[in-house]
Structure 1
Amino acid sequence: MRDNLQITGGVYLVVDPAMDRALLLSKLALALKAGIDAVQLWNNWLPEADKRSCVAAVSSLCRAYSVPLLIDNDWELLLGSPELDGVHFDAIPPNYAEIQNRVARPLLAGITCSGDLEAVRWADKNGLDYVSFCAMFPSTSAGNCAVVMPSLVREAREITTIPLFVSGGITPENILTLRKLTPFDGVAVISGIMGADDPFSKVKLYQDALNLPTHHL
């Protein structure tokens, strides 16, 4: 992991490596220019995909903006790709200590909570960098995630002080509604940004919604 990289909140962008490579990189470049805070490569690879070349290309863009790049679940890619800064788990890994030993370098780590606070307790105990809740709203990008109630995120905040992200169907408009119901530090987005014609402007809309003072909500 590059020195001093952190994930504290803001806009966390998940990119789909099954997207056309040139289109993915062009849209990612615009999103990075707008000021996103972290990038994750979703574990949705095409058959025979050259994973390492994709990691290298995406990392080259992320490094130019000092934005951390994480891999979704496929932690073994960390072994041969030093440009990766961490891993995101969709569930509690049974061998986290072994993963840390094998990677043998500092790494960022986060986990999805899909309705069970056990993942939050585990993340707090093991010093993870963030928890992401999926899904707050129905979303095709969120896959099999069950809809999470805002009350669960409130309970999580009582358990841990690590950054909490919300994901699944998040839009600049429903961020405002959600912030009235529960505290969170950032949003994780896939199609809301990568499916936009103008990712730069869309990122700015998400940032504006996150930064609006709560008394204006």
Structure 2
Amino acid sequence: MQRDRLKGLYVLTDTSRFEREELVKAVAASIEGGARIVQYRDKSDDVARRREEAAALAELCRIHQRLFIVNDDVALAIEVGADGVHLGRDDAPLDETRARFEAEGLDAIIGVSCYADRLRAERAAEQGADYLAFGAMFPSPTKPHAPGAPAEVLGWARERLGRPVCGIGGITARNVADLMTYRPDMIAVVSEVFAAPDIRAATADMVRAMATA
């Protein structure tokens, strides 16, 4: 089952920093460092570039047997053969998204951003979300104005909702131990990996910090 692979370090692409071939190289370095899940996140309206990048990353993840998730764009996820999609508060409803995948004969992973909202998390679990993401756990350079989420919400969700849980937002190799107490299935990062001068080494440091916390 693909859902059994929802664990470990989850990297989100930084398309403000890398594009096209450089983006693929950066993600490849993160996979070499130990990233288990890759999310393609790009909010631009450059349709051709988005399709090119997503297709290349989907192929890279297939080769290395990593899960590949597309942020928000269900049509793009289906087109490039992604393993699933991640939905935020302003994206398509979960049931509608599931129906679109099923119409294509696909059993896709659907993750949902829950922020610090326990009611949203409960509803997403009831509707069949495959994993629940909470954050920002710490002040985030990627989303500096994102409201914070308490670390204990990760433990609450694991115990109460029966879904894999992901922490995101401002997480580094230096502070991840504060979260691992609550046994999240996944830790998601952007800047900690992709802003580093050595992406492979930064990823390996993060994976090590998670394992030893």
TM-score interval for Structure 1 and Structure 2 normalised by the shorter chain:
0.7 to 0.9
CA RMSD of aligned residues (A): 2.2
Distance in 2 separating the partners of 1:144 and 1:159? 29
- Paired position in structure 2 for 1:205: 205
- Paired position in structure 1 for 2:33: 34
**Aligned residue type for 1:189:** V
1:27-176 → structure 2 map (5 Å cutoff) = 27-45=26-44, 47=46, 49-81=48-80, 83-91=81-89, 95-104=93-102, 105-142=106-143, 144-176=145-177
CA offset digits 1:27-77 (Å, max 9, x no partner): 111111222111101132254552211111111211111111111111122
Percent of aligned pairs sharing the same letter: 26
Q: 1:74 to 1:98 in 2, by over 3 A?
A: same
User: Structure 1 runs of 4+ off > 3 angstroms?
Assistant: 3-7, 46-49, 92-95
Distance in 1 separating the partners of 2:57 and 2:72? 17
| Conservation of the 8 A alpha-carbon contact between 1:17 and 1:54 | no
Deviation of 1:107 after TM superposition, in Å, equals 0.3
CA offset digits 1:97-120 (Å, max 9, x no partner): 332222221101111121111222
Q: 1:103 to 1:201 in 2, by over 3 A?
A: same
- Paired position in structure 1 for 2:23: 24
* 5+ long unaligned stretches in structure 2: none
CA offset digits 1:145-164 (Å, max 9, x no partner): 21111232232233222221
SS in 2 for 1:76: helix
SS in 2 for 1:111: strand
Query: How many matched pairs?
Result: 209
* 5+ long unaligned stretches in structure 1: none
| Conservation of the 8 A alpha-carbon contact between 1:5 and 1:68 | no
CA offset digits 1:1-41 (Å, max 9, x no partner): xx746443210000033422222111111111222111101
Distance in 1 separating the partners of 2:210 and 2:138? 17
SS in 2 for 1:39: strand
